C-alpha cells in the first residue's frame, strides 16, 4: 500500500470527515453523514483506493521514491 494522499488533500479529508460525522451525530444531517468515515480513514492512512484505480497521486513523497 503506497501513500497517495498528500498534505493539503489529507487535511481536507480529515476535516470533512470529522465535520460530516459530527453533523450526523448531532442529528443536523441524516444518517448519510456517517459517510464521513471514508474521507476520515483515507486521510488518516494517507491512502485512497480510488486514487490507485485512476492513477492519481497527491503525495509528493511517494512521487519522488
Q: pLDDT digits over 40-58, tens only?
A: 999 999 999 999 999 999 9
Q: What are the distances in angstroms from CA 40 to CA 12, 15, 18, 46, 63?
A: 9, 8, 7, 10, 23
Q: Which residues of the chain have pLDDT under 50?
A: none
The per-residue pLDDT for 63 is 59
Residue 64: per-residue pLDDT:
59
The answer to whether the CB of 47 falls within 8 A of the CB of 63 is: no
Q: What pLDDT, on a 0 to 100 scale, did the predictor assign at position 1? A: 79
> Please, which residues have CB within 8 angstroms of residue 47's CB and are 6 or more apart in sequence?
1, 2, 3, 4, 5
Give the pLDDT of residue 43: 97
CA contacts within 13 A on the Cβ side of 57: 13
CB 26 within 8 A of CB 36: no
Amino acid at each position: 500500500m503506497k501513500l497517495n494522499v498528500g498534505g493539503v488533500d489529507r487535511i481536507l479529508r480529515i476535516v470533512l470527515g470529522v465535520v460530516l460525522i459530527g453533523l450526523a451525530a448531532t442529528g443536523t444531517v441524516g444518517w448519510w453523514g456517517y459517510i464521513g468515515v471514508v474521507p476520515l480513514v483515507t486521510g488518516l492512512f494517507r491512502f485512497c483506493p480510488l486514487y490507485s484505480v485512476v492513477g492519481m497521486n497527491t503525495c509528493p513523497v511517494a512521487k519522488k521514491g
